[in-house]
Amino acid sequence: MTGITAYVNGRFLPLGEAAVGIEDRGYQFGDGIYEVVRVYGGTPFKMREHLDRLRRSARAIELDLPDLDRLTEDALELLKRNGLRECSLYIQVTRGVCPRKHTVPRGIAPTVVMTAREVAGFPAEYRSRGVKLITVPDDRWARCYIKTTNLLPNVLARSKAERAGAYEAVFVRDGFVMECSSSNLFIVESGALVTPPLTNYILAGVTRATVIQLAEELGIEVREEAVSLERLYRSDEVFVTGTVTEIVPAVDIDGTTVGTGKPGPVFSLLYRGYTGLTAGAGDA
Ligand SMILES: Cc1ncc(COP(=O)(O)O)c(C=O)c1O
């Protein structure tokens, strides 16, 4: 027994007893959506933004969401029951359980599952020395703006990165970089922050938006424009952003050294600003 409490459709259960039916469409078709929310000091950070994105994902796959106010209350209860204040909260909503058929069934209740887990934390050198990235062909589908549980290409790309001793895999489509397997990508050129624009091939990261806003507040020029692979290699700084990742600088891409080979000043400034925001999250 792990002592971990999970949430399934309004019920709080020991993790080992938490289960969904084998005909759940999330299990059979990957017919579901999810969010990962970082909790700082017991308070979910950017919860509204995550729920907004959950709504957008639900709309995109024609899924009727349950009441999200109730879901938020239950999420807080889950954190309490697990005694967690620094953790990640996983929220998954699948289409529900019904006999297998491809068409979207009507009138079935979605399956809602939540778990909260302590965040393992990165080795300190990830941020002090920077990490490696590899690039991989973007072989995902054309609806990457939906945060779907269908993550097989991302799983394979991230595993390839891990085998190569890299932190993340950058998806490259027609010579242009999109995002990573579970994070967004930024480069710095002559002091300006550049990130690929939000298209159907990119997930609108909550951390991405936070970092853009932070940069603007700090007076850093921000441009959302297409970034070619050559431009990525030649940039002064590169970093990736994500809810659990926060901001992690990259110093090597496919064996090519980025900038000075050390995390740069724009990363440092933004990371300091970001930790300031998250440290205040528990005060809200
Ligand atoms: C494909 C992809 N891009 C970007 C992100 C970063 O999004 P966020 O900052 O909202 O965590 C994620 C997060 O899991 C992701 O899966």
Q: For residue 284, what pLDDT is reported?
A: 45
Q: How many whole angstroms separate alpha carbon 98 and alpha carbon 94?
A: 12
Q: For residue 282, what pLDDT is reported?
A: 62
Which atom of ligand 1 sits closest to the CA of residue 154?
1
The DSSP secondary-structure symbol of 283 reads G
Residue 233 pLDDT more than 90?
A: yes
CA of 181 to the centre of ligand 1 (A): 8
Instruction: Flag the least confident range among 110-124, 196-210, 256-270.
Output: 110-124
- Where does the chain have alpha helices with state H? 25-29, 47-60, 68-82, 125-128, 152-163, 206-217, 229-234, 265-279
Residue 166 pLDDT more than 90?
A: yes
CB 45 within 8 A of CB 281: yes
Q: Which residues contact 256 (CB under 8 A, 6 or more apart)?
A: 233
Q: How many whole angstroms separate alpha carbon 34 and alpha carbon 36?
A: 7
Which atom of ligand 1 sits closest to the CA of residue 210?
9
Pocket test for ligand 1, best of 183, 186, 241, 248 (most atoms within 8 A of CB): 183
Residues in contact with ligand 1 (CB, 6 Å cut-off): 36, 154, 179, 182-184, 203, 205-208, 241-243
CA of 247 to the centre of ligand 1 (A): 12
For the purposes of burial, counting CB atoms within 10 Å of the CB of 38, is it exposed (0-12), middle (13-18) or buried (19 or more)?
buried
Average pLDDT over residues 171-182: 98
CA of 99 to the centre of ligand 1 (A): 32
Residue 236 pLDDT more than 90?
A: yes
State pLDDT tens for residues 26-47.
999 999 999 999 999 999 999 9
Q: How many whole angstroms separate alpha carbon 196 and alpha carbon 185?
A: 8
pLDDT band at 179 (very low <50, low <70, confident <90, very high): very high
The CATH 3.30.470.10 domain(s) of the chain lie at 5-118
CA of 188 to the centre of ligand 1 (A): 20
CA of 107 to the centre of ligand 1 (A): 31
Q: How many whole angstroms separate alpha carbon 260 and alpha carbon 249?
A: 12
CATH class of 5-118: alpha beta
Which atom of ligand 1 sits closest to the CA of residue 243?
11
Q: How many whole angstroms separate alpha carbon 122 and alpha carbon 137?
A: 27
Q: What is the pairing mode between strands 222-224 and 131-137?
A: unpaired
Instruction: Please say if 147 is a catalytic residue.
Output: yes
Average pLDDT over residues 126-152: 98
pLDDT band at 206 (very low <50, low <70, confident <90, very high): very high
* Residue whose CA is at the smallest distance from ligand 1 atom 14: 182
Q: How confident is the prediction for the chain on average, in pLDDT?
A: 96
Residue 7 pLDDT more than 50?
A: yes
What amino acid occupies position 119?
V
Q: How many whole angstroms separate alpha carbon 282 and alpha carbon 284?
A: 6
Q: For residue 2, what pLDDT is reported?
A: 57
The token pair that represents 96 in the structure block:
């529900």
- Active-site residue identified among 46, 80, 147, 262: 147
The token pair that represents 278 in the structure block:
């998250």
Which atom of ligand 1 sits closest to the CA of residue 50?
10
Q: How many whole angstroms separate alpha carbon 248 and alpha carbon 252?
A: 12
The CATH 3.20.10.10 domain(s) of the chain lie at 125-283
Q: How many whole angstroms separate alpha carbon 249 and alpha carbon 118?
A: 23
Q: How many whole angstroms separate alpha carbon 169 and alpha carbon 208?
A: 17
Assigned architecture for domain 125-283: Alpha-Beta Barrel (3.20)
**What Å distances lie between residue 114 and 79, 125, 139, 267, 268, CA to CA?**
10, 31, 29, 32, 33
Q: For residue 121, what pLDDT is reported?
A: 81
